[in-house]
A and B are shown apart, each in its own frame.
Chain A
Amino acid sequence: MANLATWGNELYTGKRSYPFVGKRKLWFAIAGVLVLLSILVPVVKGGFNLGIDFRGGSEFTVSSVEKTDVTVGEQAVLAIAADHHPSVTNIAPNTMRIQTDKLTDDQSLEVAQALASAYGVTASEVTSTFVGPTWGADVSKQALIGLIVFVVLVALLMAAYFRTWKMSLAAIIGLLAVVIITAGIYGLSGFEVTPSAVIGFLTILSYSLYDTVVVFDKIRENTAGFADQHKRNFEELVNLGINQTLVRSINTSVVAVLPVASILFIGSYLLGAGTLKDLSLALFIGIIVGTLATIFIQAPLYAWLRHKDADVVAHNKKIELVRQEA
């Protein structure tokens, strides 16, 4: 692809440059608004659409169904547990999902039998899941612990690798924005929040930081010994680094998103709900948001965190003098 290559060249040489750092106030404002909305929207909408794992209850999946009739399933459940409000959905071709309140063990076995005969399949085609009400909370608690442990460890790792805590700080702040915005999109769209989705969020952290590390590595390289040259100031060097890695950022996120998108597609069309779909949905949104955040939030934030450093200030003055002379 000649055009993208040429574009890449121009970005690399600095001939073409996008003001990622220069317009940081704009990006930060947009990010701020998005974060705020992401917090407000779920609150206004009355919380997230929590899956059965968080509410507790029983769920049945009937495969190889020939006639996907909803009422058949409802009647089968009501015949055994009259007051258990079944919700029956056709989640995928030939697959029905039936959710009820918590059933007792015996009821659960009976309902599975009843559903099998109602839909004319063998008992082995019925999958049943019972989830205690504390299960989802347990998963969330663990996820939160995971989040904190991971953030602390990765902050230390990055600070050690880049030898500046400011890169680490910028990466982490951006990361939190990514998680909040992704959660916001989830809340807005009304997608069901399941433990798999929660874990998807944790995986986003990993991808988002992976991307940030790659871009920051270029920035580190560009800004190493920045005080010894008089062509570009610190901010411009950071911006150059973002531009130089832009093609790579686009390519890696496309490549990362493609398999996730294929899981999402297959998951939604062939399997309906479940681990695969929930996980890939969170990842799909997260990878895109994560890539954008590196470019628009994390890298500019690093430049801003450094802008009052004595060496940067002194260097800026020098550059100004040189430029006035020229």
Chain B
Amino acid sequence: MSTTGPIKQARKSLLWLGVIFLISAAILVTGVLNGKTTFAPKLALDLEGGTQMILAPRVQGGATATQEQLDQAVEIIRDRVDGSGVSEAEITTQSGRNVVVSMPGVPDARTRQLIQASANMEFRPVIIAGGFEAVPEDQRTPAADLPEPTEKPKNASDTNWITPELFKQFEAYDCPAELGKGADTVHDPSKPMISCEPDTGAKYILGPVEVPGANIADSYSEMARSQQGAVTGQWAVNLVFNEEGKKQFADVTQRLVSLPGSQNQFAIVLDGTVISAPTTNSVIGDGRAQITGNFTEESAKALADQLKFGALPISFEIQSDQRISATLGADQLKSGLIAGLIGLILVGIYSLFQYRALGFVTIVSLLVSGVLTYMALVLLGWSMNYRLSLAGVAGLIVAIGLIADSFIVYFERIRDELRDGRPLPSAVEMGWKRAKRTILAAKAVNILAAVVLYIVAVGNVKGFAFTLGLTAIIDIIVVYLFTHPVLQLLARTKFFGEGHRFSGLDPSLLGVVPLYQGAGKIRSFSTEADAARGKKNASAAKEAERRQTIAERRQAASHGVATKQDDSADKDSSNG
């Protein structure tokens, strides 16, 4: 009897499962020991408590935002949130349409406003530059010496914009403190403003807006070239203006190029903060400006991106805003876990009821799936920052039923094979061969649904789709590497192989020839199998003829005989 084949195979499969398990566990334990992760999966805000805002970008002109714009929007919002002093905020895009801002606790009204405000970029000329910090009180200009406007300002660089109040404010302005508060985006474009440049540590009084950011057509970074076209080794940021911007910029540079000192600079202001304030070297009439300086490749690209995307007036509309109390989150997690436990117990009881001892195989397989899922969640939380949400917990609970389904499909197939008169070991092999196909096809449908759901889903549902898909994959692994090999091994045991009445595979209950040939005389399945392989056992053949099975139909077909349907009743299973 060829018992070594399947048993060897089964051991190999179990070994593989062991390897997968050990590797995952080793990674996990190493991570925990190094303090990189914990043993608990990361929780989403609805289970942990906190605030989650889903923002829909609104691009001027009603166009939809591109992924690039969204990514930039995320950057802009991240800067604002970080600037407002909120730590551990997570800002991500979702489904290529929305921006999701999640943070612990409840943000104040100011932070909330900032998050929604549109990115606002503008070019303003510098009128006065100063130090980053506030001038110490005793060193400030006395009231009598404050600059007083003598006439109406003639242009944006005119010092007549500076009123005594503005100058006093300028001297008292403390950049580190002001930036810490986050940007205040409301500045009248027709009035001067005070602004800071964090990169260089400068503070300015800026004139009114001369070129709005919307007039930038493009911006990119590249290596600067000398007049001869040789690469200078310096990084530069290129600006391309549209027609309107080209004219405006020509006018500005025309004026600025001859102005002395700081007044020669024009400041690029994003959300009220100066991101760059280059000096003007020449009149630029073609709408193509190049900013050079101490750029690295990265900083040049960052500035180019800021110019390109910061100029896009994207504002955000709050689609949904949830502030979840930590208590509610903990309650929900607890309830979810209770629901899962009850579900697991119910499925376990039903499996035992339906499949007797085989039900234990279902239960243990579910536990193995549970352990693998748990490890996957922790590892994904660590590597991808995956967070388990309430909907994700729901997906896990629903998955209990879906995973158990595949065992049922398999067990029923084995029963079908037993009904066809096969001994258990070969019923397991044949049943598996058939069930495998069905399970894979059915799981493919599940995975497909999960992927589609994940891609289109908005809000919390992504978590649901994710766990549903994850468990479908784990289910396949467990069925292949655990449930089937375990059954292969169990099929060789006396308890299952001889079809004990509590095994769930009792052939007499399944309408197969009784095992007992006489008092105390037990016919073992292995001899039966041998006999069946050599020459069809007469009684089995007779039995088979009575039944409408695949095997029989094929047999009948090959003989070309047609017998009447339902010609006999099944043998009473209790006799013998």
Q: Which residues of A contact B (CB under 8 A)?
A: 1-2, 4-6, 8-10, 12-15, 53, 61, 63-64, 105-106, 109, 112, 124-132, 134-135, 138-139, 142-143, 145-146, 149-150, 153-154, 157-158, 161, 195-196, 199, 202-203, 205-207, 209-210, 213-214, 217-218, 221-222, 225, 228-232, 240, 244-245, 247-248, 251-252, 254-263, 265-267, 270-271, 274-276, 279-280, 283, 322, 326
Contacts and interface: CB of A to CB of B under 8 A. Distances in A.
Given A157-B445, A199-B457, A209-B449, 6 more contacts: A134-B319, A195-B461, A217-B441, A261-B346, A266-B338, A276-B339
Contact of B453 (A199, A221, A283): A199
B188 to A, nearest CB: 24
Given A9-B570, A63-B327, A258-B350, A230 B402 contact: no
B511 A6 contact: yes
A202 B453 contact: yes
Contacts of B448: 150, 153-154, 157, 206
B323 A146 contact: no
A274 to B, nearest CB: 7
B318 A231 contact: no
B394 A279 contact: yes
A132 B317 contact: yes
B468 interface: yes
Interface of B: 46, 49, 54, 56, 95, 97, 106, 109, 112-113, 317-328, 331-332, 335-336, 338-340, 342-344, 346-347, 350-351, 353-354, 390-391, 393-394, 397-398, 400-402, 404-405, 408-409, 412, 415-416, 419, 434, 437-438, 441-446, 448-450, 452-453, 455-461, 464, 468, 506, 509-511, 546-550, 553-554, 556-557, 560, 562-566, 569-570, 573
Contacts of A112: 323
A257 B457 contact: no
A52 to B, nearest CB: 10
A138 B394 contact: no
A271 B437 contact: no
16 contacts: A2-B509, A8-B415, A8-B510, A112-B323, A125-B327, A127-B328, A131-B321, A199-B453, A210-B443, A217-B441, A231-B548, A255-B350, A256-B401, A263-B339, A275-B460, A326-B562
Given A9-B419, A251-B354, A259-B343, A326 B394 contact: no
B550 to A, nearest CB: 7
Contact of A206 (B450, B511, B553): B450
Identify the 10 closest CB pairs spanning chains A and B, nearest first.
A259-B343, A206-B449, A256-B401, A9-B511, A146-B456, A266-B339, A14-B548, A229-B557, A262-B342, A130-B321
B320 A129 contact: yes
Contacts of B419: 9, 12-13
Q: Which of A132, A244, A266, A271 has the most CB of B within 10 A?
A: A266
Contact of A196 (B343, B461, B468): B461
Contacts of B398: 203, 256, 259-260, 263, 280, 283
Contact of B325 (A1, A125, A257, A265): A125
A255 B409 CA distance: 12
Given A248-B408, A251-B408, A267 B112 contact: no
A203 B449 contact: yes
B30 to A, nearest CB: 33
Nearest to B412: A248
B449 A150 contact: yes
B460 A263 contact: no
Given A126-B325, A262-B339, A196 B391 contact: yes
A240 B356 CA distance: 26
B339 A139 contact: no
B405 A210 contact: yes
A41 B408 CA distance: 37
A255 B332 contact: no
Given A13-B570, A256-B405, A259-B397, A276 B335 contact: yes
A252 B410 CA distance: 11
A177 B350 CA distance: 29
Given A203-B398, A229-B557, A255-B404, A275 B390 contact: yes
Nearest to A124: B325
Contacts of B109: 105-106, 109
A105 B401 contact: no
A263 B464 CA distance: 14
Given A125-B328, A146-B457, A276-B336, A259 B344 contact: yes
B334 to A, nearest CB: 8
A108 B353 CA distance: 53
B357 to A, nearest CB: 13
A258 B318 contact: no
A232 to B, nearest CB: 7
B97 to A, nearest CB: 8
Contact of B401 (A206, A231, A258): A258
Contacts of B351: 255
The SS class assigned to the A binding surface is: helix
B453 A134 contact: no
Contacts of B56: 132, 134, 138
A114 B456 CA distance: 38
A262 B460 contact: no
Given A132-B320, A271-B335, A13 B549 contact: yes
A283 B461 CA distance: 14
B27 to A, nearest CB: 29
A53 B448 CA distance: 27
Contacts of A153: 448, 452
Q: Which of B323, B340, B351 has the most CB of A within 10 A?
A: B323
Contacts of A4: 354
Q: Which of A127, A130, A139 has the most CB of B within 10 A?
A: A127
B565 A14 contact: yes
A228 B409 CA distance: 28
Given A129-B321, A207-B402, A252-B405, A262 B327 contact: no
A39 B347 CA distance: 35
Given A149-B456, A248-B409, A255 B449 contact: no
B424 to A, nearest CB: 16
Given A1-B354, A231-B548, A258 B343 contact: yes
Nearest to B321: A130
A279 B456 contact: no
A135 to B, nearest CB: 5
Given A1-B354, A9-B419, A266-B338, A259 B553 contact: no
A262 B320 contact: no
A210 B402 CA distance: 9
B464 A279 contact: yes
A255 B564 CA distance: 38
A196 B510 CA distance: 43
Contacts of A61: 325, 328
B402 A231 contact: no
Contacts of A196: 391, 460-461
B464 to A, nearest CB: 6
Contacts of A149: 452, 456
Contacts of B460: 196, 275
Given A217-B437, A255-B350, A275 B391 contact: yes
B456 A256 contact: no
A247 B415 CA distance: 11
Contacts of A158: 445
A5 B397 contact: no
A279 B381 CA distance: 24
Contacts of A255: 347, 350-351, 401, 404-405, 408
A139 B562 contact: no
A258 B346 contact: yes
A228 B461 contact: no
Contacts of A161: 441, 444
A317 to B, nearest CB: 14
B391 A256 contact: no
A161 B441 CA distance: 7
